[in-house]
Amino acid sequence: MAASFSAGGNGRSCGVPVLREAARKLVAAFRRDRLASSALEFALTLPLLLAITGGLVDFGLLWRARGEVALATNAGAESAQVAGAGATPTAVQTAMSAATALTGMTVVASGPTAYCVATSGSTVSLTAKAFGATCGDGTTASYYMQLTATYTYTPILPHFDKIAPTTLTGRATVRLF
């Protein structure tokens, strides 16, 4: 049974419009409440979403920088190998710097120095000797150049360095002749 009442003195029943108006107000209030709760949920989850997205971006940029360090080291090794006896630290460092787009990378090339190479399992050790001297294993000492490329990545997110190392180093030892 629908509620009705008489409005004014005309005797007309206005029960259905009153119920419709009340239902409309109730739906509007519910909709406003849902929008507020959605906004609250978004505000609570946004920092987590930004942290995850920022972490993924930082990881991707760090991985790219790692590749650039390896590229610089490889370019220096190739330059030294091609130059052979004419390899100079300055020329090799120039090749290493030119191979990468990263700014702030430190490249170092030392040598050429004569070494005897000894291996024990996966460990390789270099012992300085005169060029052509006989090494302990019967081989002769050769000239080598040691290369190092170092880059410190500056992360977007604070404390990213606690998750992953941000100082990247590439090393190579190249036999010249």
For residue 110, give every residue at least 6 positions away whose Cβ sits within 8 Å of its Cβ, in sequence order, or none.
89, 145, 146
Token pair belonging to 45 = 């989850």
CA 139 to chain centre: 43
- pLDDT score of 5: 46
- pLDDT score of 58: 93
Question: Would you write out the chain's pLDDT as a tens digit for each of its 177 residues?
Answer: 455 444 555 555 556 777 788 878 877 776 666 667 787 888 899 999 999 999 999 999 999 999 999 999 999 999 999 998 899 999 999 999 999 999 999 999 998 999 999 888 888 889 999 999 999 888 999 999 999 999 999 999 888 888 889 999 999 999 998
Q: What are phi and psi of 51, to 5 degrees?
A: -65, -40
Q: Calculate the alpha carbon distances from 33 to 26, 39, 46 in Å.
A: 11, 10, 20
Report which of 136, 139, 117 is spatially closest to residue 126, judged by C-alpha positions. Answer: 117
